[in-house]
A and B are shown apart, each in its own frame.
Chain A
Amino acid sequence: MVNTDILLDVQNLKVHFPIEKGIIFKRNAGWIRAVDGVSFSIRKGESLGLVGESGCGKSTTAMTVAQLQASTAGKVFFEGRDLSLITPKELRRERMNFQIVFQDPYSSLNPRMRAGDIIAEPLRIYARKKIISISKKEVLEKTASLMDRCGLPSSSADRYPHEFSGGQRQRIGIARALSLGPKMIIADEPVSALDVSIQSQILNLLKDLQQELDLTFLFIAHDLAVVEYFCSRIAVMYLGHIVETADSKTLYNQPIHPYTRALFSAVPLSDPRSARKRKRIILEGDVPSPSVVRAGCPFMDRCPDVMERCKVETPTLSNLDKNHQVACFLYDSPGKER
Chain B
Amino acid sequence: MEKPRILKNGIAIMGLVIILLYIIMIIVSSFWLPFDPSEMDVKHVLESPSFGTGHFFGTDEFGRDVLSRIMKGSSVSLIISISATALGAVFGIMMGIWAGFLGGRWDNFIMRIADIMFSFPSLLMAIFVMAVLGENTYNVIIAIGIIYIPQFARISRGAILSLKSNEFIRAARSNGAGNIYILFRHLLPNSMPPIIVQVSLSLSVAILLESSLSFLGLGVQPPEPSWGNMLSSARKVMMIAPWTAIYPGLAIITLVLGFNLLGDGLRDILDPRLRNVS
Contacts and interface: CB of A to CB of B under 8 A. Distances in A.
Q: CB atoms of A and B under 8 A apart anywhere in the complex?
A: yes
Contacts of A176: 171, 175
A103 B112 contact: no
Contact of B176 (A92, A100, A104): A92
B276 A160 contact: yes
A122 interface: yes
Nearest to A173: B171
Contact of B167 (A66, A103, A121): A103
A102 B167 CA distance: 7
Contacts of B167: 102-104, 107-108
Contacts of A162: 272-273, 275
Contacts of A104: 167
B272 A160 contact: yes
Contacts of B273: 111, 162
Contacts of A111: 190, 272-273
Contacts of B173: 68
Nearest to B181: A125
Interface residues on A, range: 20 to 34
A129 interface: yes
A292 interface: no
Contacts, number: 68
B204 to A, nearest CB: 27
A126 interface: yes
B119 interface: no
Contacts of B177: 121, 125
Contacts of A95: 174-176
B267 interface: no
Interface in B172-217: 172-177, 181, 186, 189-190
> Could you say which of A110, A159, A176 has the most chain B C-beta atoms within 10 Å of its C-beta?
A110
Contacts of B168: 107-110
A71 interface: no
B112 A24 contact: yes
Best-surrounded residue of B170, B176, B189, B276 (most CB of chain A within 10 A): B176
A180 interface: yes
A148 interface: no
B245 to A, nearest CB: 47
A68 B168 CA distance: 13
A163 interface: yes
A159 B171 CA distance: 19
Contacts of B276: 159-160, 163
Nearest to A101: B171
A112 interface: yes
B166 interface: yes
Nearest to B170: A68
Contacts of A67: 174
A233 to B, nearest CB: 24
Interface of B: 108, 112, 166-168, 170-177, 181, 186, 189-190, 272-273, 275-276
Given A103-B167, A110-B186, A111-B272, 19 more contacts: A24-B112, A26-B108, A66-B174, A92-B176, A95-B174, A95-B175, A95-B176, A107-B168, A108-B167, A108-B168, A110-B168, A110-B190, A111-B190, A121-B172, A125-B172, A125-B175, A125-B181, A129-B176, A162-B273
Closest 8 CB pairs of A and B: A108-B167, A122-B175, A102-B167, A92-B176, A111-B272, A107-B166, A110-B168, A107-B167
Interface of A: 24, 26, 63, 66-68, 92, 95-96, 99-100, 102-104, 107-112, 121-122, 125-126, 129, 131, 159-160, 162-163, 173, 176, 180
20 contacts: A63-B170, A68-B174, A95-B175, A95-B176, A99-B174, A102-B170, A103-B167, A108-B166, A108-B168, A111-B190, A112-B189, A125-B172, A125-B176, A129-B176, A159-B276, A160-B276, A162-B273, A173-B171, A176-B171, A180-B175
